[in-house]
Amino acid sequence: MRAIIIIISGLVLLISCGESPVPDESDSFLDGEIVSGGIPEVTDTAASEDTLLIIEENEEIISTEGPEGTWTTTMGVIELSTDSQGHVNGAYPLGSIDGELDGTVLEFTYSEGTLEGTGSFVFNEEFSSFQGIQDIAGTELIWNGQRM
């Protein structure tokens, strides 16, 4: 709430000084340098459309970690690693997995001693959890996990 009041106060100040609150091509760009008192110092550097586009694009970037790391799962703790081509392998108490990541979906084969089969994990967008299945001789077992 306090942030909204501060923003509104700033807009009122700009309008009362005869400045437009919406920048156009002739407006100056704030350099971001802070002077004493916490007030940004305005420089006479013109902002280009490219500069504004880069700033807007950087604000939109969503960082994901990917599946690599340690996970606590319904089949025990699993450690996953990936390479740059989306190949994923991992080890858990009963065996190992080897598969390919496509977006947030990991399709894999597993090996547990003499038992082998297929499975898949569907990770959430943040790669903080997954829901999955493991096919054992035609029976699908649930295999869910959370990042540790």
Classify strands 129-136 and 145-147 as parallel, antiparallel or unpaired: antiparallel
Cβ–Cβ < 8 Å for 147, 140: no
- Residue 74 DSSP class: B
Per-residue confidence in pLDDT tens, the chain, 148 aa: 444 444 444 443 334 445 444 444 444 444 444 444 444 444 444 544 443 344 344 444 344 579 999 999 999 999 999 998 889 999 999 999 999 999 999 999 999 999 999 999 999 999 999 999 999 989 999 999 999 9
